[in-house]
Chains A and B, each alone.
Chain A
Amino acid sequence: MEIKKTSLNKLHQINNAKFVEFAGYEMPIQYSKGIIEEHKFTRSHSGIFDVSHMGQLFIYGNESLAEELEKIFPLDLKNLKQNSSKYSFLMNENAGIYDDLIITKIEEGFLIILNAACKDKDFEILSNLLSSKFKMNLDNNRSLIAIQGPKSVEILNSIINGIDQLNFMTGNWFDSDNQKLFITRSGYTGEDGFEISISNDKAEKFVENLMEKGAQLIGLGARDTLRLEAGLCLYGHELDINKTPVEANLRWAISKSRLSNGGFIGSKKIIDQMRDGSNQIRVGIKPEGRLIAREKTKIFDDKDKQIGEITSGTFGPSVKGPIAMGYVDKEFSKVDTKIFLEVRGKRHPANICTLPFYKKNYVKGLN
């Protein structure tokens, strides 16, 4: 199959991107400055991320749509305020995760942001679950651009006045350059920031405009170190069809009001696990010294028992040391528990730690 390109591909090339294939798309892993500089620039200033490979699924409908979607997602969607966003999951009957996503109530219905590698399958699953009276559009005509970091609000507001009034996890339509942009205050880096849905033909000029104001393009490499420092899950690593939201330590994303009656796909398993706990759970892990433990690294107790596995591991440029996340047996999940990581045939000490590794700077309760 031919590799897909986003509407910013040419701009990435001009800016000396190194490309990788990601979920069928040619995406920039880094630009000339490299992952560590890009990471630090995002934390101190403002980074631009092309996330146009992600799915933007618009589902049109009124209150009956919210009711139908509540049979799928563990959220209180009937009471979700217009322009508010929630993090959630598409699950199977065993609460295994098909995808993690952000769902936003918009005037016309709902907008769901899906992972690139999952979006086509998600569309198929949702089409089969929802009545055909609700029109669905996995919109390939729109790009998605994230701008993240402390200077992002100032930079974006100088182009689109009023975005500084958005609270974290809310969005709205804004006018710019004779077209409507849907902008949410959100992101996946642990920084304050925004995600902008914009038509493909306007995306390049819009990003060039952000760059003129001082923001810089950041690749997927730094996106990964940023999200890992922020303790955020990445589908295909922390999350997959064999993991449930409770095992992934994402209980907070399940609406409490949905736990008494269930009625969503996977609800029986979720309710059982919320009550009884799960055998394994996702934790933060800090290796001692400088050792990096990558995905699939086996985790042992102080004897010879394997107690889990690493799902993501790297060097955290802002925490200035190695960091990892993984799953361990429940009894080893307490903070400060000493564990051992098998790297290149040797066991190295590490400790269970609290997440995130890097403290968030989200803007809350502005208004």
Chain B
Amino acid sequence: MSEVKFSKEHEWITLEGDVATIGITKHATEMLGDIVFAELPEKGSNVEKDGTAGVVESTKAASDVYTPVSGEVVDTNQAIVDDPSKINEDPEGSAWFFKLKMKDQSEMDNLMNKEEYDKFAKESAS
């Protein structure tokens, strides 16, 4: 599996073959608070880089989930729809959101690595 990459919208992404797995970062869940609702894209649909691909709601507010790369949705994580609190528990592991079959892997190039993202998250939080 590839190195984990991160977007400015606080999504993480890993690549295995041409299939990307995408979720939201621990930092994002800490900003959101307790997540109580998750909506995911439909399997078989196509999503565009930086477009909306889902929604999460905390007790406080609703937030869009964006996709950092384009592709066809090949799988979604029903477990987080049934129990959204899993997203707070393990955001960068078992609580992934969706998997995409990527069209253009060069879209990964401009994303941040862990060190860059941690710095970005720290700065955007202050």
Contact = CB atoms under 8 A, between A and B. Distances in A.
A115 interface: no
A69 to B, nearest CB: 38
Given A292-B62, A294-B62, A315 B33 contact: no
Given A292-B57, A344-B55, A315 B62 contact: no
A291 B60 contact: no
B57 A221 contact: no
- How would you classify the secondary structure of chain A's contact residues: helix, strand, loop or mixed? mixed
Given A221-B59, A315-B59, A35 B34 contact: yes
A36 B57 contact: no
Contacts of A225: 59
Interface in B15-66: 33-34, 36-37, 55, 57-62
A204 B51 CA distance: 48
Nearest to A294: B62
A135 interface: no
Interface in A202-259: 221, 225
A291 B60 CA distance: 14
B33 A35 contact: yes
A278 interface: no
Contacts of A36: 34, 36, 59, 85
A315 B36 contact: yes
Interface string A287-305: 0001110100000000000
Contacts of B84: 290
B59 A35 contact: yes
A34 B34 contact: yes
A155 interface: no
B92 to A, nearest CB: 18
A314 B37 contact: no
Interface string A30-66: 1000111000000000000000000000000000000
Contacts of A29: 60
Contacts of B81: 290
Nearest to B83: A290
A221 B60 contact: yes
Contacts of A290: 36-37, 81, 84
A35 B60 CA distance: 9
A298 to B, nearest CB: 15
A334 B55 CA distance: 32
Contacts of A317: 59
B55 A314 contact: no
A291 B81 CA distance: 11
Given A35-B60, A221-B59, A315-B59, A292 B33 contact: no
A292 B37 contact: yes
A317 B34 CA distance: 10
A34 B88 CA distance: 11
Interface in B48-103: 55, 57-62, 81, 84-85
Contacts of A344: 55
B36, B55, B84: most-surrounded residue (chain A CB, <10 A):
B36
B73 to A, nearest CB: 18
29 contacts: A29-B60, A30-B33, A34-B33, A35-B33, A35-B34, A35-B58, A35-B60, A36-B34, A36-B59, A221-B33, A221-B60, A225-B59, A290-B36, A290-B37, A290-B81, A290-B84, A291-B37, A292-B37, A292-B57, A292-B62, A294-B62, A314-B59, A315-B36, A315-B37, A315-B57, A315-B59, A317-B59, A322-B36, A322-B37
Interface of A: 29-30, 34-36, 221, 225, 290-292, 294, 314-315, 317, 322, 344
